[in-house]
Structure 1
């Protein structure tokens, strides 16, 4: 096998498994561990991975912030799949929180078309509009607060003070990214992050709603850690290493 071919196969293994080990690669390709270390160093120099003790992990990406209108038009199929899974968890007569998330907009749409009798508390104007446009059994409560125009919702002290008065049966929280290896959950803005933290504290159960790709992406503000949530609802399962860490922390992945 040519060296270039081995490098490609190493990257394929990394993409599928999330983490690779020198010893395992040495056995897999029937080459020395020193040879594998050189391969990993070359791939790191090219920006394809990050070396760790005894192996390597994927390079984590930072993402840019986009406004709600732009985000609502992307990856609609995968977001709809996540929203349906979340909707299935909601029981009659529960009080739920839907925070600033385009996936939560889709959950709201499903609720607006259903016969479920629930109370929805939200800080997102789009969700208020969706649920107020139909005559069904959903009671809608808005937090109020400082309007974040790019997210089209409320965040900050007033919203937090409102949230802290409640005890939600279940909350669905959006996230820019999650790093299970350092246990961080991130967003872009501090006011949004502080509001999400308050929602989690006021919830009996909390689920992140996010696409699988966000397991490898970071925002720039850490608002919580994975030990504070009960589960993650995603479109496709992440690598086995990530699943193992989630299970070790008693986090359900759906």
Structure 2
């Protein structure tokens, strides 16, 4: 195995597990502990991890704002996996909120394909377009365009949302910091609108591909414990799972 390949696998394990141990990595890759320490030193210099006694933890990257078109091309397979898990949470006849999120768009696609007999409330333009010919009843929330111009946020949207009660909501996430109990998005106005939805929802799930566990955004819109659970594409490691138990949220992985 090439050094670069081993280091990439170490980073992947860091993201999915929340930490790595030198001894365990040494056994996994059949190399010396000194060699693993050198790998971690290289990764730390590249800003991909922070060394701690006996191992390392991830470094949270503050990701830049991206338009919907840019986000749509990222991690498509992971989004499909998450959407297939999320659909299992929806019951016939329920009132469902679908957030502005490219992962949520994949969920809307499945709802349309299955013609689920539900009511969908959304502020996402693409979700509405997908459900035009579906069996679901659709209610669209207006307001002002968000940064990516893929949906509506702001005070007008918030006023409309405050009059609803949702059986279940599926929320997008730019970054998730389980250690700091923080759920992030890009912009404040989007974050305020998302938080209104959380308050109006009986159940709420964040849809999180595993790479977002190493990312943060510009605006913390909720605490982790405010959600019912998180749905992800990759099995969480012990460190992250323990934190989720601490916050009392369900993990669907």
TM-score (normalizing by structure 1): 0.84
Aligned length: 246
Over the aligned positions, Cα root-mean-square deviation in angstroms equals 2.9
8 Å contact 1:14–1:57 — kept in the other structure? no
1:45 CA drift (Å): 4.2
8 Å contact 2:122–2:141 — kept in the other structure? yes
Range that drifts further, 201-210 or 106-115: 106-115
Structure 2, unmatched stretches of 5+, are none
Alignment counterpart, residue 192 of structure 2, candidates 191, 194, 218: 194
8 Å contact 2:147–2:187 — kept in the other structure? no
Range that drifts further, 223-232 or 58-67: 58-67
Aligned CA distance change for structure 1 residues 37 and 129 (closer, same or farther; 3 Å): closer
Structure 1, unmatched stretches of 5+, are none
1:203 CA drift (Å): 0.4
Residue equivalent to 1:145: 143
Alignment of 1:150-161 (within 5 A): 150-161=148-159
TM-score (normalizing by structure 2): 0.84
Residue equivalent to 1:82: 82
Residue equivalent to 2:238: 240
Aligned CA distance change for structure 1 residues 30 and 37 (closer, same or farther; 3 Å): closer
Aligned CA distance change for structure 1 residues 241 and 165 (closer, same or farther; 3 Å): same
After superposition, the C-alpha distances for 1:41-67 in whole angstroms (9 at most, x for unaligned) are: 675345342245775311222222221
Q: Secondary structure at the match of 2:197?
A: helix
Aligned CA distance change for structure 1 residues 144 and 12 (closer, same or farther; 3 Å): closer
Residue equivalent to 1:249: 247
Aligned CA distance change for structure 1 residues 53 and 222 (closer, same or farther; 3 Å): farther
Residue equivalent to 1:105: 105
Residue equivalent to 2:229: 231
8 Å contact 1:211–1:234 — kept in the other structure? yes
8 Å contact 1:193–1:222 — kept in the other structure? yes
Q: Secondary structure at the match of 1:111?
A: helix
- CA–CA distance in structure 1, aligned partners of residues 77 and 21 of structure 2: 34
8 Å contact 1:100–1:151 — kept in the other structure? no
Q: Secondary structure at the match of 2:213?
A: helix
- CA–CA distance in structure 1, aligned partners of residues 212 and 179 of structure 2: 13
8 Å contact 1:123–1:155 — kept in the other structure? yes
Aligned CA distance change for structure 1 residues 93 and 237 (closer, same or farther; 3 Å): same
- CA–CA distance in structure 2, aligned partners of residues 11 and 113 of structure 1: 37
8 Å contact 2:115–2:134 — kept in the other structure? no
1:74 CA drift (Å): 2.7
Bigger Cα Rg: 1
- CA–CA distance in structure 1, aligned partners of residues 43 and 77 of structure 2: 33
Alignment of 1:18-167 (within 5 A): 18-20=18-20, 44-52=44-52, 56-132=56-132, 134-136=133-135, 138-148=136-146, 150-167=148-165
